[in-house]
Structure 1
Amino acid sequence: MKNLRPPALSVGAKVALAVAAAALCVAGTIGVLVHRTTAVHQLATARSGLDQELVSAAHDHADGRRSDARLDPPDLPGPVARAVRNDVRVTYLEDGERYPVLWAATRVSDRRVLAIRRSYAREEQSLARLDRTLLGTGAAVTVLVSLAGLLLGVRMGRQATAAARTAERIADGDLDARVRPHGRDEIARLAASVNTMADALGARLEAERRVTADIAHELRTPVAGMSTAVGLLPPGRASELVAGSVRKLRGLVEDVLEVARLDSQVAVDTEEREVSAMARRAVAGLDDVRVNVVRVNVVTDAVVATDPRRVERILANLAANALRHGAPPVEMEIDGPVVRVRDHGPGFPPDLLAVLRTSGPQRFRTGSRTGGTGLGLTIATGQARLLGARLTFRNRPEGGAETELRLPAE
Structure 2
Amino acid sequence: MDIGTKVALAVAAAALCVASTVGLLVHRITAADQLATARSDLDRQLMSAVYDHAAGRKSAARLDPPDLPAAVSKAVRRGDRVTYLQDGPDPVLWAATRVSDRTVLALSRPYGHEADELAALDRTLVTTGAAATAGVSLAGLALGVRMGRRATAAARTAERIAHGDLNARIGPQGRDEIARLAASVNAMADALGARLEAERRVTADIAHELRTPVTAMVTATGLLPPGPATDLVAGGVRKLRGLVEDVLEVARLDAHAVSVETEPRQVSAMARRAVTGLDGAEGRVEVRIVTDTLAETDPRRVERILTNLVTNALRHGTPQVTVEVDAETNAETDGDGAGPLVRIRDHGPGFPPDLLAVLTASGPQRFRTGCESAGTGLGLGLTIASGQARLLGARLTFRNHPDGGAEATLRLPPTSPSPGSTGAAAAPVPRPRPCPTARTD
TM > 0.5 fold call: yes
The answer to whether the 8 A contact 2:252-2:258 is kept is no
Distance across 2 between alignment mates of 1:103 and 1:302? 104
- 2:26 maps to what in 1? 34
- 2:368 maps to what in 1? 365
The answer to whether the 8 A contact 1:99-1:124 is kept is no
1:228 aligns with 2:219: yes
The answer to whether the 8 A contact 1:99-1:121 is kept is yes
Per-residue CA deviations over 1:356-376 (Å, capped at 9, x if unaligned) read 222332221111254211111
- 1:401 maps to what in 2? 406
Residue number among 321, 325, 332 corresponding to 2:312 in the alignment = 321
Residue number among 203, 218, 233 corresponding to 1:242 in the alignment = 233
Residue number among 210, 217, 229 corresponding to 1:219 in the alignment = 210
1:347 aligns with 2:338: no
Distance across 2 between alignment mates of 1:78 and 1:304? 105
Q: 1:93 to 1:327 in 2, by over 3 A?
A: same
Note the residue ranges of structure 2 that are not aligned, 5 or more in a row: 328-339, 417-441
Q: 1:22 to 1:308 in 2, by over 3 A?
A: farther
- What SS class does the counterpart of residue 281 from structure 2 fall into? helix
Residue number among 290, 309, 326 corresponding to 2:281 in the alignment = 290
Per-residue CA deviations over 1:334-378 (Å, capped at 9, x if unaligned) read 332332221110011112112222233222111125421111111
- 2:332 maps to what in 1? none
Matches within 5 A, 1:142-291: 142-271=133-262, 272-287=264-279, 289-291=280-282
Distance across 1 between alignment mates of 2:227 and 2:384? 35
Equivalent position amino acid for 1:298 in 2: I
1:107 aligns with 2:98: yes
The alpha-carbon deviation at position 285 of structure 1 amounts to: 4.9
Matches within 5 A, 1:110-125: 110-125=101-116
Distance across 2 between alignment mates of 1:99 and 1:404? 87
Stretch moving more, 299-308 or 368-377: 299-308
Equivalent position amino acid for 1:354 in 2: A
Q: 1:302 to 1:17 in 2, by over 3 A?
A: farther
- What SS class does the counterpart of residue 220 from structure 1 fall into? helix
Runs of 4+ in 1 over 6 A off after TM superposition: none
- 2:69 maps to what in 1? 77
The alpha-carbon deviation at position 150 of structure 1 amounts to: 1.3
The alpha-carbon deviation at position 270 of structure 1 amounts to: 4.4
How many residues get paired?
400
- What SS class does the counterpart of residue 410 from structure 2 fall into? strand
TM-score by length of 2: 0.86
Q: 1:158 to 1:62 in 2, by over 3 A?
A: same
- 1:6 maps to what in 2? none
The alpha-carbon deviation at position 139 of structure 1 amounts to: 1.1
Q: 1:94 to 1:363 in 2, by over 3 A?
A: same
Question: In angstroms, what is the RMSD of aligned CA positions?
Answer: 1.8
Per-residue CA deviations over 1:375-397 (Å, capped at 9, x if unaligned) read 11111122222333322221122
Distance across 2 between alignment mates of 1:21 and 1:187? 23
Q: 1:376 to 1:94 in 2, by over 3 A?
A: same
Equivalent position amino acid for 1:79 in 2: A
Q: 1:57 to 1:304 in 2, by over 3 A?
A: farther
User: Whose RCO is larger (CA < 8 A, sep 6+)?
Assistant: 2
Equivalent position amino acid for 1:350 in 2: P
Stretch moving more, 382-391 or 117-126: 382-391
Distance across 1 between alignment mates of 2:239 and 2:62? 120
- 2:439 maps to what in 1? none
Per-residue CA deviations over 1:131-174 (Å, capped at 9, x if unaligned) read 11111111111111111111111111111111111111111111
Q: 1:223 to 1:204 in 2, by over 3 A?
A: same
The alpha-carbon deviation at position 31 of structure 1 amounts to: 1.1
TM-score by length of 1: 0.92
The alpha-carbon deviation at position 291 of structure 1 amounts to: 4.6
Stretch moving more, 12-21 or 358-367: 358-367
The answer to whether the 8 A contact 1:265-1:386 is kept is no
Identity %: 73
The alpha-carbon deviation at position 69 of structure 1 amounts to: 1.8
1:45 aligns with 2:37: yes
Distance across 1 between alignment mates of 2:10 and 2:119? 30
The alpha-carbon deviation at position 307 of structure 1 amounts to: 2.7
The answer to whether the 8 A contact 2:260-2:391 is kept is no
